[in-house]
Structure formats: C-alpha cells, structure tokens
Amino acid sequence: MARNDTSKSIRRRRKVKILATLGPASSTKETITALLRAGADAFRVNMSHGEHEIHARTIALIREVEKELGKPVAILCDLQGPKLRVGKFRDGSAFIRHGAHFTLDRNPEPGDDTRVELPHPELFGILQKGQRLLIDDGKLKLKVIRAEPDSLLCSAEVGGPISDRKGVNVPDTLVPVPALTEKDRRDLAFAIQQQADWIGLSFVQRPEDVAEARRLMGGHCALMAKIEKPSAIDTLDEIIELSDGIMVARGDLGVELNPEEVPPLQKRIIEKVRLAGKPVVVATQMLESMIERPTPTRAEVSDVANAVYDGADAVMLSAETAAGQWPVEAVTIMDRIAVQVEGDSTYRERIHITETPPDATMADALAESCASIANALPIEAVICFTMSGISARRVARERPSAPMLVLTPSQKSARRVALLWGAHPVSTKDIGSFEEMIAKGKRMALRHGFGAAGSRLVILAGVPFGVPGSTNLLHVVTLSGNELERHQG
C-alpha cells in the first residue's frame, strides 16, 4: 500500500464497520473493488471452504485493490474449528421419524433410518442420558435415552431428513476436543504466511483454547475469539481478556441456545467487550434473505440496526456476499442502515447506555478527555498518532462524537484498526517533533476530508515519538484559512 501520503482514501459517513465475507460470488478484483466502494471495510476469508491456492489469490487481489484505493483493509482468516459431523448413509440420506429411536454408534458402515456412525469417539465418554444432540443446524433434535461405550440410543424429539456428514451440536456438555484441529493448524500457518491481520478462532469453549491459539500465532496476527458455544459464556471475561477482539457468532449459538436467549446475550457480550476496549463484531444471518433477493426483510434491517445501536464495532455479512446473488447490494444496504441509525437523534444516548470508565492510566485518562472535548465542542476529528493501535482502541472505547483519524507508520496497525469503531486509518511516515506532529495532523486532516478553515481538531500522541505505549499528550488545534489555501494550492 502507498506510504507517501499522496492518496486520499475512501471516507465513510459512519463509524460502525462492515466486514464482508468473500467467496465464489465475490472473489474477482472487480467485485472486491465494488464492495470496498460500496462500504466494506474488511474482508473475511472462510477457511472452511476452498483450497489455499484459491485463498492466496483472493488475498493478493485484496492487497492489490487496497493499494489502488489507498485504504487500509483488514483481512480476517476464519478457521473452521472442530466441527462435529455424522458419518455417511447407504443411500446418501435417510429419514428419522418423529418420536422414533435412532442410534449413533462407532460402526463405520453406512447408516440407514435406524442408525449412523458418529466418528467422534470422545463424545461416547461424556454424553449421558437426557442430554441432547442437535443435527443439521438444529433441524433435528435427538435426546439420549441410553449411553453405552460404543453407542448412543436416542429418541427423536424432532425428526426429519438427514444426509451425509451433517453437523452435530452438543449443547449440554463441554466437548473434550481442542479448539484447533490439524486442518486449523495448517490453515493458521497459511494465514500467517499470507500476513492476515486477524484470525477468527471458532468454537471457543474455554480460555485455554485462546491461549493455545495465541501461542501458535506468535504475535503475527490479532486474535478474534468467536463466541458460538454456550460453554464459552461461563468464562467469557477470561476469554475477552486473552483475545484481541470478539465475534458474536449467532449461527451455532442460536442452535445450541433457545432462540429467545440470543438477543439479550448478544447485548451482554457487546457490553463486556466494549468495557474491555476491544473490537466486537456481530455476525451471522444479518441480511440472510439477500442471498437470493435484492432487498432485505424489515426484520433483518432491524437486526442490523440494533447491533449498531448497541455500539458494536462491526457488523458482518457471510453468505450474502460470499455466495449470494446480490453481494454489492447487500453491502450497500448495510451501509445505508448504519448511516441512518447513526444519524438518529437518540443514537448517541443509546450507545452510551454502556458506561466505559477509564482505567487509572495516563493513556485512558487522555482518551476519555478526547471524547469529552469532542462531545463538548464542535470538533471535526480526533487525530490519533499511534504505533501499535492501542491508543486508537482506547479512544474508540469512549465512542466520541467526532470520527477518529488514525495516523500510524505501521501498515500492520493501520490494517488491524480498520475494524475499529470510528477509525479512519492511514499508513504514513512517523513524526519526530511536536511541531511536525501539529503540521502533519493538520495536513492529513485536510487531505482526508476532516475539516475546513476554522475546524478544530483534537490531537493525541505520545512523547517521545515512535515509542509504543507512551501516550501522554493531548492538544487542540484550529485549521486556518491559510492552511486550507496551501492544501488546495
């Protein structure tokens, strides 16, 4: 990406970010460009599908478009995780009658209407009478009536068709499987080699899952733990602490919990992650009907709007952009929803229902002061000079009324910050003095559309310059008419 400060990158009219999944419907350079122009700020590469060669080509295209548009783009490589599945059937499928008995066993022979293999030996030691197995995203519900070392005799509480390799959810017990399978380890090594910015860790059950992933990542990427297992809720605080960000993955979460439990849980997770000052993404089925239709349902629009009102850092599109017929339209509509919500007169009040008191540190105190000044005065932008992106995270935690122009010499930090609420990241040369900081802050604000003559800016930085973790300086400046004329000239 260009580092010479000459390009004016795309300026959003909203603070919440849009994370779009790429796939067969959207992996061309033309579509990636169109998605970015329509409103996408980051892209998800789903490692559950496709070969490394295809993913490498997609990532290369993202970086090519990123350079052409002058906009830092975050790439999240989403690991598949330990997906549980049934075996295969003699005819490729079968039908389980409602109320009938059905057996899951360790016999590798093809199944039928009465039994099928469950190729996960660890489940036979933990599932007990009365516990549930949910198959095919919860479309079929089985309850264990007799558990033996090599078989589980179940009653079909909800029957229906079942076919080869359908997914299995086990909501009533902690599954003794590692968060990273051998496939995940290979995919993680690939993502690191491709310089992915974020890693999505699927099916997190315990803090140890996050710690193991961090060890393998070696600091090369930021880690986003996906909350999609009820067992993760019991240790949510510890998981948040060990992660760089959190995704509320409502697909599997909605399968294993009663549907009415998910909305309040979503709000609770968002609140906790915001208090920790880390980005939180709301994902799954946000505009699901747009996989096949050019317009969403009213309920889907409300779903996206609620996530924005809750103060989420980003909202995500999955199959809508990866495999749907209307990928660009889905991003366009999500952008329009977010802009409308953030323009609502009650928006500021609603996102501040979650109070975020600062920690007892200089950096947190200054970040809170930035937000207070922006809320009290007509401030055009908060300009944050940062090396690691942590200062930007602290300011975003306060959800200031003004947007945040994040200036960093680290391309890696600029890309990670692209998922952060309210942040407009720019990769630029470092500064070496107070005078240079003021001059560059004003120049970059004008270059990227943050202000005109008479506009006020809040600048946050650290002295000595270029040292991570040294945030200790806050300064308010006003753009003069002469500076505007020089910029236009």
Q: Assess whether pLDDT exceeds 50 at residue 248.
A: yes
Q: Assess whether pLDDT exceeds 90 at residue 464.
A: no
- Stretch 376-392: mean pLDDT: 95
Cβ partners under 8 Å of residue 129, min gap 6: 144, 145, 146, 147
Grade residue 99 by pLDDT with cuts at 50, 70 and 90.
very high
Grade residue 3 by pLDDT with cuts at 50, 70 and 90.
very low
Q: Supply the pLDDT for residue 2.
A: 41
Q: Supply the pLDDT for residue 142.
A: 98
Query: Any bridge partners for residue 163, and if so which?
Result: 93
Cβ partners under 8 Å of residue 450, min gap 6: 380, 381, 383, 403, 405, 424, 444, 457
Q: Assess whether pLDDT exceeds 60 at residue 29.
A: yes
With b meaning 16 or more CB within 10 Å and e meaning fewer, what string describes 161-171? ebebebebbbb
Q: Assess whether pLDDT exceeds 70 at residue 4.
A: no
The active-site residue, picked from 44, 250, 267, 416, is 44
The active-site residue, picked from 21, 58, 235, 284, is 284
If phi > 0 it is left, if psi is from -120 to 50 it is alpha, else beta; for residue 81 that is left
Q: Supply the pLDDT for residue 1.
A: 45
- Stretch 263-277: mean pLDDT: 96
Number of Cβ within 10 Å of residue 317's Cβ equals 30
Q: Does the domain spanning 17-82+178-349 belong to CATH 3.40.640.10? A: no
Tokens of 136: 């095919």
Which CATH code fits 362-488? 3.40.1380.20
Q: Assess whether pLDDT exceeds 60 at residue 5.
A: no
Q: Assess whether pLDDT exceeds 60 at residue 112.
A: yes
- Stretch 63-82: mean pLDDT: 96
Q: Report CA dihedral (227, 233, 238, 244) to the nearest 10 degrees.
A: 20
Strand order in the sheet with 84-85: 84-85, 167-169, 132-135, 140-148, 151-158, 101-105, 115-117
The active-site residue, picked from 14, 226, 415, 442, is 226
Q: What angle do CA 370, 375, 383 make, to 5 degrees?
A: 35
**Rounded CA gap, 447 and 440, in Å?**
10
Cβ partners under 8 Å of residue 466, min gap 6: 387, 409, 430, 431, 432
Q: Supply the pLDDT for residue 57.
A: 98
Per cent of the chain over pLDDT 70 is 96
Where in the sequence of the chain do the CATH 2.40.33.10 domains occur?
A: 84-169
Where in the sequence of the chain do the CATH 3.40.1380.20 domains occur?
A: 362-488
Structure-model confidence comparison of residues 466 and 296, the more confident one: 296
The active-site residue, picked from 8, 37, 85, 106, is 85
Number of Cβ within 10 Å of residue 408's Cβ equals 25
Chain-centroid distance of CA 30 in Å reads 24
**Rounded CA gap, 324 and 305, in Å?**
21
Q: Assess whether pLDDT exceeds 70 at residue 310.
A: yes
Indicate the class that CATH gives domain 84-169.
mainly beta
Asked about 298 being catalytic, the answer comes back as: no
Exposed/middle/buried for residue 119 (C-beta within 10 Å: 0-12, 13-18, 19+): middle
How far, CA to CA in Å, does 174 sit from each of 2, 119, 169, 170? 47, 17, 11, 8
pLDDT tens profile 136-189: 989 999 999 999 999 999 999 999 999 999 999 999 998 888 889 999 999 999
Asked about 3 being catalytic, the answer comes back as: no
CA atoms within 13 A on the CB side of 76: 32
- Comparing C-alpha atoms, which of 399, 355, 392, 406 is closest to residue 375? 399
Grade residue 8 by pLDDT with cuts at 50, 70 and 90.
low
Structure-model confidence comparison of residues 399 and 177, the more confident one: 399
Asked about 83 being catalytic, the answer comes back as: no
Number of Cβ within 10 Å of residue 375's Cβ equals 15
Q: Supply the pLDDT for residue 6.
A: 38
pLDDT tens profile 285-300: 999 999 999 999 999 9
Cβ partners under 8 Å of residue 36, min gap 6: 10, 65, 69, 71, 73
Asked about 114 being catalytic, the answer comes back as: no
Q: Long-range CB contacts (< 8 A, 24+ apart) of 353-359?
A: 354/270, 354/271, 354/274, 354/275, 354/311, 356/274, 356/275, 356/277, 356/397, 356/398, 356/399, 358/398
Q: Assess whether pLDDT exceeds 70 at residue 226.
A: yes
| Amino acid present at 199 | I
Q: What angle do CA 62, 65, 70 make, to 5 degrees?
A: 120
Number of Cβ within 10 Å of residue 292's Cβ equals 10
Q: Long-range CB contacts (< 8 A, 24+ apart) of 288-291?
A: 288/319, 288/320, 290/320, 290/324, 290/326, 290/329, 290/330, 290/333, 291/319, 291/320, 291/323, 291/324, 291/325, 291/326
